Structure 1
Amino acid sequence: MTKAHALVVDDEPDILDLIRITLARMGIQAQTAANLKEAKQLLTTQPFDLCLTDMQLPDGNGIELVAHISEAYPDLPAAMITAHGNMESAVAAMKAGAFDFVSKPVDLQMLRRLVESALRLRDAGPTDEADSQISGQLLGNSRPMREIRRMIGKIARNQAPVFITGESGTGKEVAARLIHAEGPRRDGPFVPVNCGAIPQELVESELFGHKKGSFTGAVGDKQGLFQAAEVGTLFLDEVADLPLQAQVKLLRAIQEKSVRPVGAQQELPVDVRIISASHRDLNAEVDHGSFRQDLFYRINVIELRMPALRERPEDIPLLATRILTRIAKQTGRDDLKLSDGALRKLAGHRFPGNVRELENILERGAALCDGNLIGADEIYLPQNPAPTPTATSPAQTDLPLEDYLGEIEKKAILQALEETRWNRTAAAKKLGMTLRSLRYRLNKLGLD
């Protein structure tokens, strides 16, 4: 492996010496520049594997250099050295294309981790078979999906926090896993957490860990999810569901790159990439006061919007084929296929539950069909909102009372799921039941 070369840009000789010595001990040769002009000139003389630049330079600022590198040398990771606590500069640098940032006074352990992560980009080869399987889950030849895959490839190369938006069932976690798998942290853990599924009183313990005896039931030290994701990626799904108190601590953890377990006296350094997601409009949540604006600003450095299935109907046949292949393999049946009528029926549906709803429809269709061809009659699509229970009676529908009540229950559940875009946690709340109870009813009614 050839020796790595780094460009270090700073007008303070002491910092240049510190970084040069640190890099030398890592086997990295450093070239230094004291200003923008010198840095741009050096970039034309030889290839570099990494650039570290100070924010404030005599003839400009580091963001200008980051933007120049991002445009002229897109494969060169550039990191920003910022003043301590100046998160606005760090966020601005990452929006301009910076790979990551480190604060003054420079923590040498964090600097080494940043450099190692950047160099993994240079050494990274093509994704392995497992990563290709992840990529295969983002199916579609439509323009929106081609753009999503292009964006993921670009996003994967830096460490900036990513916020993935989109309706429930559009594949936000799949996109997060792919960002992780295609980036320099691929060999580290990918730790997903559904923020809405954690009881509020346990959120801080789950995220940051706790010390023995810090609260009733804390019978031993517990590692938090931040620590579990060390040198990897922490995926905060449905981040809008975090209580405000936990949002404050999450903001500090992201800014300081350290966490304090519940009951601990000192913070512990952590090296994780944060990817967040929500089907809710966080701008509206900020306006309502239920989500901190400073936290939203911090996690929304890069936004990735997953398209709804109705925005790419031309992908339905390909998605259906892949899903049916999986169902056939799981059930030990011959190849399952859709009739032309079934495909037309699917093409005319708006899919409020997106790809997840398509999976449920096809699983039900596969269970109902006798052979290997699923016809239009086996494709069950949710209808319009249910009439009120008093609109008809068992006698009027010629149904036994139990079946009649089951139909009312099914329509009410489907309506709640559609109104919440198939977010089961939100639907359960809307229906006044627990998530576990909703899951039981979905299974009982054949909707799960």
Structure 2
Amino acid sequence: MIQNERRARPGGPDVLIVDDEDDIRELLELTLLRLGLVSDGAANLADARRLLDEKRYRLCLTDMRLPDGNGLDLVRYIAENIRDLPVAVITAFGSMDNAVTALKAGAFDYLSKPVSIDQLRALVKSVFSVSSSEDERLRKDTSSLIGDSSAMVQVRSMIEKLARSQAPVFISGESGSGKERAARMIHDLGPRAAAPFVAVNCGAIPENLMESEFFGARKGAFTGADCDREGFFQAAHGGTLFLDEVGDLPLPMQVKLLRAIQEKKFRRLGDTAETAVDVRILSATHQNLKAMVEASRFRQDLFYRLNVIELRMPALRERSEDIPQLAGILLGRLAESSGLPPARLSPGAMQALMGCSFPGNVRELENILERAMALSSGELIQADDLLLDPADMGEASHVAPTTPGGTDLQDYLDEMERKAIEDALEKSGGNRTAAARSLGVTFRSLRYRLERLGMKE
């Protein structure tokens, strides 16, 4: 019957199923047929490779244990020879180590035995969404991560590859380096783009509310639960769940999260039954998770589940050649949001920025530019308007700049600025608008300087 259906289909087979058990192959073929997909079967690696050479498939499902090898051999073969073919592995119940290894080798996703029809349907939906939207995804703009440095070119290239997979991705990098922006790009360029992207700051949730926030709760599950409530997992169903600052999760919650990721199920507070969930997990933190594992503050098994593939976001100081482009775009955005005319950086200001170490990365650059726009008396931002911290000025930070008299230069300049403002306020009788005019700065700039210098209005 299956063979007749396959011959009748003009487009040829869609899926290759590789399993040495006849009954499992037939069950999967029938299930896929109900989903409108025709499949071929192979009982071993040799047959699978022969069929892959003869025909073009849109999905490959392979068992991990095969008579003449294992599923990983087939994953690697496809990754090297048929890069556009998604392959999913079927693992024995509880064999998550095999699943993680397969994902690292290039598998699109995994299924656990006994194979759930719901999970198979979700997998098929993801795979064929990838295939049908391939051209559209390639046309999508990836410029939300700005920069033409080699580091950023590599990051964008990696993101495009990660978008095709369903493997968990761990995004590492310093605060302000663009981790959430990278996570959103992985989601937007992948098959789940039309589904929800749910971002969670794990460090901002009180520990006593964590379980209900992640998994939801039924009415009456605890005091104050006056209605059914969905959690982050349910809200992200079909899409992506981004766990930011995952290193802040307490150990008891790490255990519950691990099970939800492994089993693709969760139980709401007050519920007796588990709910299947289809989410892709992306996570990030600025902390060193490996060090936290060694210090027993983060579970090793959860670390390996989250860190199947790592994407490292470079610090801004590692790609300083991107600063002019970033500064120009940020100044344009700031001008638009504040209703001010676009500002420009003088050569001296640009040189000062290029020499800054930016411990706060792009977020710090944006704050510096916003402050400089407030301090600047015109549309041209000078180096003095940036008020850069000497400690952040690269090699210059090793020797504190001083005046000829030995006083710290920043303290000296602050004192001079304080004296000039006091004189202007005294001459204007305390009228700050007039004082700002006499100093040649805007009222907003004067107000900022008063706050920075701790001067009472």
How far is the alpha carbon of 1:99 from its aligned partner? 0.4
Closer, same or farther: CA 47–352 of 1 in aligned 2, 3 Å: same
**Residues 62 and 90 in structure 2, CA contact (< 8 A), matched pair in contact too:** yes
Amino acid at match of 2:366: E
Report the counterpart of residue 6 of structure 1 in structure 2.
15
State the aligned residue count.
Answer: 399
Q: Give matches, 1:67-82, under 5 Å.
A: 67-82=76-91
Report the counterpart of residue 253 of structure 1 in structure 2.
260
- How high is the sequence identity, in percent, across the aligned residues? 55
Amino acid at match of 1:256: E
How far is the alpha carbon of 1:2 from its aligned partner? 5.7
Uncovered stretches (5+) of structure 2, i.e. residues with no partner? 1-9, 401-406, 422-450
Closer, same or farther: CA 112–281 of 1 in aligned 2, 3 Å: same
Q: Give matches, 1:286-305, under 5 Å.
A: 286-305=293-312
Closer, same or farther: CA 201–43 of 1 in aligned 2, 3 Å: same
**Residues 137 and 190 in structure 2, CA contact (< 8 A), matched pair in contact too:** no
Amino acid at match of 2:76: A
Report the counterpart of residue 413 of structure 1 in structure 2.
none
Amino acid at match of 1:18: L
CA distance in 1, matches of 2:213, 2:290: 26
Name which of 136, 161, 164 aligns with 1:157.
164
Matched residue SS, 1:101: strand
CA distance in 2, matches of 1:368, 1:264: 57
How far is the alpha carbon of 1:332 from its aligned partner? 2.2
Report the counterpart of residue 223 of structure 2 in structure 1.
216
Report the counterpart of residue 178 of structure 2 in structure 1.
171
Report the counterpart of residue 186 of structure 1 in structure 2.
193
Closer, same or farther: CA 260–72 of 1 in aligned 2, 3 Å: same
**Residues 4 and 27 in structure 1, CA contact (< 8 A), matched pair in contact too:** no
Amino acid at match of 1:22: T
Name which of 269, 281, 285 aligns with 1:274.
281
CA distance in 2, matches of 1:323, 1:4: 50
**Residues 265 and 276 in structure 2, CA contact (< 8 A), matched pair in contact too:** yes
Report the counterpart of residue 344 of structure 1 in structure 2.
351
Closer, same or farther: CA 31–338 of 1 in aligned 2, 3 Å: same
Q: TM-score scaled by structure 2?
A: 0.83
**Residues 127 and 181 in structure 1, CA contact (< 8 A), matched pair in contact too:** no
Report the counterpart of residue 17 of structure 1 in structure 2.
26
Report the counterpart of residue 421 of structure 1 in structure 2.
none
CA distance in 1, matches of 2:241, 2:387: 37
User: In the alignment, is residue 196 of structure 1 matched against residue 193 of structure 2?
Assistant: no
User: In the alignment, is residue 27 of structure 1 matched against residue 36 of structure 2?
Assistant: yes
Amino acid at match of 2:389: P
**Residues 137 and 189 in structure 2, CA contact (< 8 A), matched pair in contact too:** no
How far is the alpha carbon of 1:136 from its aligned partner? 1.9
Amino acid at match of 1:338: L
How far is the alpha carbon of 1:137 from its aligned partner? 2.1
Q: TM-score scaled by structure 1?
A: 0.85
Report the counterpart of residue 386 of structure 2 in structure 1.
379
Name which of 301, 316, 320 aligns with 1:313.
320
CA distance in 1, matches of 2:12, 2:288: 47
User: In the alignment, is residue 232 of structure 1 matched against residue 233 of structure 2?
Assistant: no
Alpha-carbon RMSD: 2.6
Report the counterpart of residue 425 of structure 2 in structure 1.
none
User: In the alignment, is residue 357 of structure 1 matched against residue 384 of structure 2?
Assistant: no
Report the counterpart of residue 118 of structure 1 in structure 2.
127
Amino acid at match of 1:252: R
Matched residue SS, 1:365: helix
How far is the alpha carbon of 1:129 from its aligned partner? 12
Matched residue SS, 1:21: helix
Name which of 109, 115, 118 aligns with 1:109.
118
Name which of 17, 41, 58 aligns with 2:50.
41
- Map Cα deviations across residues 89-136 of structure 1 (whole Å, 9 max, x no partner): 00011011000000111111111111111111110144579962xx22
How far is the alpha carbon of 1:445 from its aligned partner? 6.0
Amino acid at match of 1:326: R
Name which of 331, 337, 355 aligns with 2:338.
331
How far is the alpha carbon of 1:357 from its aligned partner? 0.3
CA distance in 1, matches of 2:371, 2:301: 44
**Residues 131 and 178 in structure 1, CA contact (< 8 A), matched pair in contact too:** no
Please say which structure displays the higher CA radius of gyration. Answer: 2
**Residues 66 and 98 in structure 1, CA contact (< 8 A), matched pair in contact too:** yes
**Residues 95 and 302 in structure 1, CA contact (< 8 A), matched pair in contact too:** yes
How far is the alpha carbon of 1:286 from its aligned partner? 0.5
Uncovered stretches (5+) of structure 1, i.e. residues with no partner? 404-443
- Pick which of 156-165 and 204-213 moved more: 204-213
Amino acid at match of 1:259: F
Closer, same or farther: CA 3–31 of 1 in aligned 2, 3 Å: closer
